Each structure stands twice: as C-alpha cells, then as structure tokens.
Structure 1
Amino acid sequence: MNESHFKQPELGLVCITASDQVRFKTMTRKRLLQLAPNEQTDALRDLYAQNMKRLDAAITFCEREGVHLYRLISGLFPFADDPIGADVLTEFSEGLAIVGAHAIASGIRLVLHPDQFVVLNSDRPDVIENSIKILTAHARTFDLLGQPQSPWALMNIHGGKGDRAERLVSVIRDLPDTIRLRLTLENDEYAYGANQIAEVCQAAGIPMVFDAHHHAINQHLETYEDPSVAEMLEVAKTTWQNPDWQLVHISNGCESFTDPKHSDYITLMPSSYRYVPWIEIEAKQKERAIAKLREDWLTLGFPSHTTELQPV
C-alpha cells in the first residue's frame, strides 16, 4: 500500500473544551421541580436558548480550529424527553435548523453518546422503555438539527447488562428508524468485550465503535500493539456500511496503561489507528490534547509500532 494515499484521521472534540470557550448550562430535576409550572417552562426556555447559542459557538470553535468531529453533550436540552421539555424544544425548531445547517456547511460531523441510564437489555421493562424514551428525544434533536438518519450522526451506547446479547439484538431490531439508523454500539471494559459487541452489531445490523483502551482493559493487554487491537479494529470496520464513516475512540490510562480513568493527554496511540478516518479524543485536556496529537503524532509519518508521545 502507498501510505501517501491515506488521509490523516480526523480528531474529534468531546463535548467541552479545556478552556472556557465551549461550555453549556444545566439544571437538575430537583431544581426544576422546585419551580411553579409556568416558571419551569420559562426556565427551560431560557436554558434551551442559551445552549442552542452555545452549540452554535461550539461549531464555530471547531470550524476555527479545523476540528471536523464534535460530540454533543448528552444534557444539551435536559428534560427534552418529558412533555414539558419536548414542547419547549419545538419553539426552537427554526433556530436549531440554522445551527444544524451551520455544522453541515462547515463540514463538521455531529455525534452523541447518551448517558449511562440508557440500557436496552435490562431485566426491567420500565428501564428499557425509559431508555427508548431518552433515545427518542436525542433522535428528535438530531432531526431538528437537520442531521441525517444514518451513522454519520450516530448515537453511541454501550452493550448494557452482561449476558443479555440476544435481548439487546431483539430490542435494537424493533427500534424506530430515527433511532436504529443512527445507533452504534461500543465495546466496554467489563460487560461486553470487542468480540462480543461485534457479534451483537453484526446480528443487529448496526455499526461498532471500537475503543482500543476499553479493549486493553478487558483483555488485560500491555500494549496497543497486541495483534488483537488491529484485528478487532478490522472486525469493527466490517460493520460499517460506509467504511469512510468508521469512528473509533482513544483514551489513555491516568496512572497506568489499563487505568480506566482518562489521562490529560494521549501519549500512546495504536499504530493501526493511523488508517481510521475518525477518532474521538477522550482526554481531559480536550482541544489541547488534539493540538498536541496533531503536532506530535500526525506529523511523525506512519510508524509500524506504537507511537509513544512525549508527555507535556
């Protein structure tokens, strides 16, 4: 293969910046319920207006920094899965369409990682029902932003409850298209390893987001150059109908290689990640970690071994 033909991976920003340039407002349910009904509506209307503007500012930030992948914060429009929030969000349809068009015109891919409450294979039907309710609200946000019903605008979740793969596949197959066509599954550290989640994705007909750090923890690896990393990356690629949209995650352990807690910067990268199109950078220093990777990793050529970057 001629390595010069490969496009450098796009490095994605996750939710906020290390600086104060990208921040969002929030509100707890306790605080909302302390307000009178009319005050709740007003409070959500103000919060949604603020966060819509801040999302547009986040897109502008990404545009300025040359970042073409941005993960929305899961609490962008809190309580949008409740009737009161859903009604308020409707008021912002026109504004959200403009913000979404800004992202499209800027070539910025918007993705989402719903929170840990989304468990599609729970033993409790009410948990599954609530999970679908949350995903429905997120999908509606993507629709209002004018984003395609495809894995380009993906909603990524974990496998959920262990030893419930069949139930997970069954629930996914029955999801409405607005959710199912955007849904991806990610391997995690403990419940669903890369092999297991790949099998679920293949059975459910949805893409797999491979996380090399989760795989290292799950398999007790000592290096990202273990052959299984490149192998599972290729398996994950086969689940993407459009391989050019394949997304992966990277993080480094804070205190040790397999520490689940994220480090400030990425100082270890799998050499196989040189050939993936999209990488979400899960590091505490956010845009600074992206800038350092661009300087210290993407300018080093295409090594055949783990790139060990110098700490800051």
Structure 2
Amino acid sequence: MSAVQESKSRSRIANHSSNARQLPKTRQDDASSPIAATASPRLGLVCITFSKDVRYRTITRTRYLELPENERETALKVIYRDNLQRLDFALTFCVRNSIHLYRMPSGLFPMSDLEDEVGATVLQNMSAELAKIGQRAERVGIRMVLHPDQYVVLSSDSPQVVASSIKILDRHARTLDLLCLPRSSWSLMNIHGGKSQRADRLVEVISGLPEKIRSRLTLENDENAYSASEILEVCQKARIPLVFDAHHHICHENLESYDDPSVAEMFYAARETWDNPDWQLVHISNGEEAFGDRKHSEYITAMPSVYREAPWIEVEAKRKEEAIAHLRTWWDMGK
C-alpha cells in the first residue's frame, strides 16, 4: 500500500468516525449500523466471548496431515468458510454490545501457513468473501487487530526460529490484506519482544521486515524479558508503536498500585511512539488472586487513572464481554 493509499485509508476512517458521531440513537441496535463514537476510551474484545456466542473451529496439524491429500483442500474450505461466518457474527456481537475493537484469533485460518500451500490457496480463492468482512468492519466502526501466538520470537538466537516467526507474521499480514484492512497501526499485529537482552537484534530484524508486516507491527512490554522502558527504546529505534500493558508493568516492577507515577510516565511515553496518537492502544488485566498475580482475573476491578485518556483499551479478562460490561458500570463509562 502506497503512502497515498494509506492516507486515503486514514481519511476514510476519520470520515467514518465523524459520520458515526451523527448517527441517531434509535439505530444503535441495528447490527448493520455504525457504533456511535464516544469521548470515553473504546474497549476491545479479545478473540472469543465468555458465552458460546463467538467461537471458532480449528484442526490440529496432526489431524490435517492424516487426511488424504485429496481431502485436505475440502476440509480447509469448510473450516475457513465456517470461521468467516463466525467472524462476521463477531462483528455483529460487537455492534450489539457497543464494543469498538475486536482482536481476531491468531488461529482463525488453521494450516494456512503450511509448506503445502493448500490453506494459502484456499484463502486466496476466498478473497472476495474476506474483503466483505473487512469492508463491513469499516462500515460499522469496528477496529480489527491481531496478536500472533507466542511462537513469534524475532529476537531469537536461532535463524530458523526467526525465519519461522517472519513466516507466521507474513501469513497474518496476508490475511489482513485479504480482509482489505489498511497497512498501518490501525490494523496492528502486536507481539512481545521475545528473548531478553537482544534489543539490538530485535531492532535489526524489525527494520528488515517486509512493508506489509512492518507497517502493522507493534510491540508490547511483558513481565519477564522486556520492561516497558526497555521495549520503549526498541520501539523508538525501530520506529514502531508501543502497546503499553499496565499489568505487565506493575508485575515486572513489583509495584503496589496502577497509579504509581511510572505507569502514567510509560503511558505518555508510549503515546509518543504512535504516528497517530488517536490510535494508541493499551491493554488492561488484573491479577487473579492478588494485585501482582500474573494470572488474569475474571473481571477488571482496578484501573490506572491515566487510562481515562486512552483512546483504545483491550480488556484481557476471563469473563470477556461480561468483564467489559462490568468495567463500564463501575468505572462510570459511556458506551
């Protein structure tokens, strides 16, 4: 996507948001209508619902390879079409529940990155169907993002692991292209830094990535390998955005409050890495049994005060949409 094309894409998104603000309230329950814009942070649903409303099909690599070669294409066609329908319903669910961001599951199209290219070919042949989903997301005002799985380690010592990681990212970028989502941090692919003390190597690998990957790539701080300040430096050097996670930060630094001054400091520093600050995305989770517990809780019951200024927040809690509704109630948010 050229700079001119990306500029036009951003203009369409801006115009769409403007139109959404003017939408009559009486149409908000229409699953085909845009979600009204809001001054409050916009909340994001991660992959599936706590209810059984949003679920996806999959197939294991072992099961796939057990299939006769002449049956593999048919099997993937059935799964991919079914998952596309489920993705379309996920958008409907988000509209009905005034959820503005949806993180697609990394396994949406299983086996699409295998060497036999069967899955990749099936997806390519379904390009028109995928494009309709992306166009609908834009029409109804849902931002769609991805968080590739833990096997993506761009800072690995192993050239094979790095090559495999890039292949996974390439597969996801291809999916985003087929969905007609822009090559920008609006439709981001978010990953962790991976192997610790390899910041220079991480910057080097990111700098050499293909444009369709690099233009969408963001990095997130974690609890072990890369602190918020460490991954911030990587993002600044690689010139990609930082997705700040306040809970990872307090766990890494052994803090006792989300309102520790360093939380706001890192939030604002992360914002500076976004070319468009209005697209800044942050994550929130709470500890399951204690404040600093790394396991996610069912609901969100503690928030950084500075997150009032966050344009977009992904809610990482076990009860998914119920946690989003609960957060809105106790944090006194509008929809």
TM category (shorter chain) comes to over 0.9
1:242 aligns with 2:276: yes
Alignment partner, residue 232 of structure 1: 266
Alignment partner, residue 33 of structure 1: 65
Alignment partner, residue 290 of structure 1: 324
Cα drift, residue 299 of structure 1: 3.9
The aligned runs of 1:206-285 (5 Å cut-off) are 206-285=240-319
Alignment partner, residue 169 of structure 2: 135
AA aligned to 1:198 is L
- Using structure 2 for the length normalisation, give the TM-score: 0.87
1:106 aligns with 2:148: no
1:123 aligns with 2:154: no
The aligned runs of 1:59-208 (5 Å cut-off) are 59-82=91-114, 83-208=117-242
Give, in whole Å, the separation in 2 of the partners of 1:298 and 1:104.
Answer: 27
Cα drift, residue 41 of structure 1: 1.2
Give, in whole Å, the separation in 2 of the partners of 1:253 and 1:26.
Answer: 30
Q: Deviations over 1:129-170 (max 9, x none)?
A: 010000001001100111000000000000000010000000
Question: Across the two proteins, how many residue pairs are aligned to each other?
Answer: 295
SS of residue in 1 equivalent to 2:229: helix
SS of residue in 1 equivalent to 2:200: helix
Give, in whole Å, the separation in 1 of the partners of 2:203 and 2:53.
Answer: 40
2:57–2:79 CA contact under 8 A, matched in 1: yes
AA aligned to 1:95 is E
2:40–2:333 CA contact under 8 A, matched in 1: no
1:23 to 47, 50, 55: 55
Give, in whole Å, the separation in 2 of the partners of 1:174 and 1:100.
Answer: 28
Give, in whole Å, the separation in 2 of the partners of 1:38 and 1:136.
Answer: 26
Give, in whole Å, the separation in 2 of the partners of 1:132 and 1:264.
Answer: 33
1:68–1:108 CA contact under 8 A, matched in 2: yes
- The answer for unaligned runs of 5 or more in structure 2 is 1-37
1:249–1:279 CA contact under 8 A, matched in 2: yes
2:45 to 13, 20, 24: 13
Give, in whole Å, the separation in 2 of the partners of 1:92 and 1:165.
Answer: 39
Give, in whole Å, the separation in 1 of the partners of 2:332 and 2:40.
Answer: 7
Give, in whole Å, the separation in 1 of the partners of 2:132 and 2:201.
Answer: 39
Q: Deviations over 1:252-299 (max 9, x none)?
A: 000111111100000000001001100000000100011111111034
- Using structure 1 for the length normalisation, give the TM-score: 0.93
1:155–1:184 CA contact under 8 A, matched in 2: yes
Give, in whole Å, the separation in 1 of the partners of 2:70 and 2:149.
Answer: 28
Question: What RMSD over aligned residues (CA atoms) do the two structures have, in Å?
Answer: 1.0
AA aligned to 1:35 is L
Q: Deviations over 1:189-239 (max 9, x none)?
A: 010000000000000000000000000000000110110000000110000
Identity of matched residues, %: 61
Give, in whole Å, the separation in 1 of the partners of 2:125 and 2:55.
Answer: 22
- The answer for unaligned runs of 5 or more in structure 1 is 1-5, 301-312
Give, in whole Å, the separation in 2 of the partners of 1:101 and 1:63.
Answer: 15
